Structure 1
Amino acid sequence: MQQLEALTREAAALGEGKARVIPIHALSRDEAEVARVLQICNACRYCEGFCAVFPAMTRRLEFGKADIHYLANLCHNCGACLHACQYAPPHEFAVNVPRSMAQVRVTTYTDYAWPSAFGALYKRNGLVLALALVLGFTLFMTLGLAANGTLWGTVNGSFYAIFPHNLLVALFAPVFVFAALALGVGVRRFWRQEEVGSPSGAALSEAAHNVLSLKYLDGGHGEGCNNADDAFTHARRRFHHLTFYGFMLCFAATSVATLYHYVMGWSAPYDFVSLPKLLGMSGGILLAVGTAGLFVLNLRRHPLQQDPAQRPMDRGFIALLFLTAASGLVLMLTRGTAALPLALCVHLGCVMALFATMPYGKFAHGIFRCAALLKWAIERCQPNRLQLGDD
């Protein structure tokens, strides 16, 4: 124990310049804190079996900027290591892996954002902005319909009788394409900072399994995450599953409807038993339930398990997903009624706000985490040079 204390004290001194194995001055304050914490964890290794972060950490003796960002995005913020750590606050070492990793993840999104000048938007993206965008886009479309005298009245359930198909494509396609491009360029920059080799079939399969199953939200031992206290719960993992698969079903509904329109020549509206409607309704329900659960858990989460500065961004993203799902379900229920035009304006306003904030909001965490998990799957297939004694 005395030897461990000595090692961890030496590691803890990194941030104060007493023992430097990496150029601390080249890192930001948040990056230097992660480097300090990882040196302590590398000396202790009590949490080595908890998640992918710790075995990936043990493959390194030093932690440069690329290593820090990679490991930060590999962290799923389950909180297990915080509650298990003997050096967590109020200990003088103040080791808090979840918070320090969360703070660096925002730096990742900011540093690798495209265009680079837009990176600052991550720190301004919050609940108030999300709701303001929804209100603004909804009001814009509502005023347009009011000016045409089509805001209130039955239209036989046809969205295109309210907003022509080509107009909707012209409004939403550029925003969606830009969001996809911005996220794609950003994650490419992240990927190229530390080359780990080409992915094999086994690595792709492992990464896909870890992403789709949310493997590392199981708390390391399959008992779930720690949320408000040190009690394990699967609630966070389950609500993430509902949110993820609900979103994917909604995306599939839109994709199928696009194929129907452009390939099959079948124009909307579609019957309730049609594939787009079934996918959309099931996805909307899952997404609404999942995001409502995540919002409640976010409100109850222990302050030490998260970065308080990111709460507005987290909650803004959750709120946009919930409003998009809920307004979509309401839109289906108002089909064939006089309220359809107004319901359509609200839903389109939510979707536009979601697309507009997608490249510079919490949505990015899923993209960067998938890339980090693929890197880890590739790295696991390679020999551990530290264990082989190759310096």
Structure 2
Amino acid sequence: MQQLDALTREAVSLAGGARRVIPILTAKETEVGRQMQICNSCRYCEGFCAVFPAMTRRLEFGKADIHFLANLCHNCGACLHACQYAPPHEFAVNVPKAMAEVRGQTYVDYAWPPALGTLYQRNGLTLSVALAAALALFLIMAVAAQGTLWNAKLGGNFYRLFPHNLLVGMFAPVFGFAALALAMGVRRFWRDITPATSGAALSGPAAAEATDTVLRLKYLGGGHGEGCNNEDDAFSLARRRFHHFTFYGFMLCFLATSVATLYHYALGWTAPYELPSLPKLLGVAGGVSLLVGTAGLWRLNRQRHPLHGDLAQKPMDLGFIALLFFTSASGLALWLGRSTPALALLLCLHLGAVMALFATLPYGKFAHGIFRTASLLRHATEKRQPSPVGLADD
């Protein structure tokens, strides 16, 4: 037995002269395995979400299986409130809590570069430092360029303060690194869970099903379409709806930036753009949607029942929600105040928020969407294969 770090320990056994490496489970992973064994005997919650049909295809739960199942879980809470073995029962089955703890471990284990995985564990501090540093950078640059943050003579055109090519040169590398870090992490995760999920290649129908599931946030419906449990055992679709506002608001803002990039480089139409231009329509709609979604998610997160198990991730959750809210609010304020003396200050606040968001994307709550999508793709692939234990999926 080798004694290694808790997240990477491995047991090495010799059988017939062959060297076989067996991953050792952490305490959190072992607890998920224990609860899945109990759930596999009961199966009352089999129709609630993707976790339980996937569970029935397994008699044992290795490290890859557990991380796959943990990232399938949407923490809707339905199984907790339906479970006859939930605390204070001696079995103490609390699937949402156990899965949430392993998901947090997933983000750390699969972070790239690996040394930066610890940022997940200090996420609140990371967000604060990134935001403060980014704001300071742009405020200093603005003062150096104009000598003032108020009543600068910009004529409503913020490119007079920060030229287009300067902004591209600053933001493109940060965004590129974030995309690369997320891609490298989820690539390792995919490679590890593929053998544990039938090993079959992703097909078109499986990809279409998983995409539909992601875009509709199907598993925030509690398995019956009535929604999640939040502060008590009452069902509500609020969490699903506010997630939709947030997700689609973010995508609309990203699309607005993409269209503006096309306008600038392909068509030669330079910013700033005004209504009813497509970039402005998309950006305003996305900003308002983000404001509504993040405000709603903040309220729901603060009311969340502690047994749902996401207490350890609450600083990460609230930090990401606040940063998204600040990004959208500052963007809308910049648009509304573009003809006022506050333009330079509003621009610095918005650019600082966006820079902090880009810099922390790979090491914050944003990662949950990437790993969950990968798990849903593998689930849609696995369910199309014969069950290894002789039971057909629903």
Q: Same fold (TM over 0.5)?
A: yes
Q: Report the equivalent of 2:177.
A: 178
Q: List structure 1 segments (4+ residues) > 6 angstroms apart after TM superposition.
A: none
1:271 is paired with a residue of what secondary structure?
coil
Q: Report the equivalent of 1:120.
A: 118
Q: Report the equivalent of 1:351.
A: 354
Q: Report the equivalent of 2:223.
A: 220
Q: Report the equivalent of 2:154.
A: 155
Quote the offset at 1:147 in angstroms.
2.4
Alignment of 1:373-384 (within 5 A): 373-384=376-387
1:306 to 309, 314, 319: 309
User: 2: distance between equivalents of 1:25 and 1:132?
Assistant: 36
* 2:276 corresponds to 1:273: yes
Q: Quick check: 2:295–2:325 contact (8 Å CA) kept in 1? A: yes
Q: Report the equivalent of 2:138.
A: 141
Quote the offset at 1:150 in angstroms.
4.7
User: 1: distance between equivalents of 2:377 and 2:94?
Assistant: 25
Alignment of 1:310-325 (within 5 A): 310-325=313-328
User: 2: distance between equivalents of 1:366 and 1:206?
Assistant: 16
For 1:150-202, what per-residue CA distance to the aligned partner results, in whole angstroms no more than 9, with x for missing partners? 52224122121110111111111111000000000100000000323211111
* 2:90 corresponds to 1:92: yes
For 1:257-314, what per-residue CA distance to the aligned partner results, in whole angstroms no more than 9, with x for missing partners? 0001111111101112100000000000000110010000000000011232211011
Quote the offset at 1:134 in angstroms.
2.1
* 2:109 corresponds to 1:111: yes
1:63 is paired with a residue of what secondary structure?
coil
1:243 is paired with a residue of what secondary structure?
helix
Deviates more, 1:129-138 or 1:291-300: 129-138
Q: Report the equivalent of 2:288.
A: 285
Q: For structure 2, which runs of at least 5 residues remain unmatched after alignment?
A: 1-20
After superposition, the Cα gap between the structure-2 partners of 1:25 and 1:142, relative to the gap in structure 1 and judged at 3 Å, is closer
After superposition, the Cα gap between the structure-2 partners of 1:102 and 1:155, relative to the gap in structure 1 and judged at 3 Å, is same
1:193 is paired with a residue of what secondary structure?
helix
User: 1: distance between equivalents of 2:308 and 2:22?
Assistant: 25
Q: Quick check: 2:130–2:360 contact (8 Å CA) kept in 1? A: no
Q: Quick check: 1:129–1:316 contact (8 Å CA) kept in 2? A: no
Identity %: 68
User: 2: distance between equivalents of 1:165 and 1:201?
Assistant: 40
Number of aligned positions between the proteins:
366
After superposition, the Cα gap between the structure-2 partners of 1:178 and 1:25, relative to the gap in structure 1 and judged at 3 Å, is closer
**What amino acid sits opposite 1:387 in the alignment?**
G
2:39 is paired with a residue of what secondary structure?
helix
User: 2: distance between equivalents of 1:304 and 1:381?
Assistant: 34
For 1:86-125, what per-residue CA distance to the aligned partner results, in whole angstroms no more than 9, with x for missing partners? 1111111111100110100111111111111111111110
**What amino acid sits opposite 1:346 in the alignment?**
L
Quote the offset at 1:25 in angstroms.
8.3
Q: Quick check: 1:324–1:351 contact (8 Å CA) kept in 2? A: yes
Q: Quick check: 2:119–2:126 contact (8 Å CA) kept in 1? A: no
Q: Report the equivalent of 2:248.
A: 245
Q: Quick check: 2:58–2:388 contact (8 Å CA) kept in 1? A: no
Q: Which protein has the bigger helix share?
A: 1
Q: For structure 1, which runs of at least 5 residues remain unmatched after alignment?
A: 1-22
For 1:201-242, what per-residue CA distance to the aligned partner results, in whole angstroms no more than 9, with x for missing partners? 110110010000000000011110000000000000000000
2:193 is paired with a residue of what secondary structure?
coil
Quote the offset at 1:133 in angstroms.
2.7
**What amino acid sits opposite 2:355 in the alignment?**
M
2:313 is paired with a residue of what secondary structure?
helix
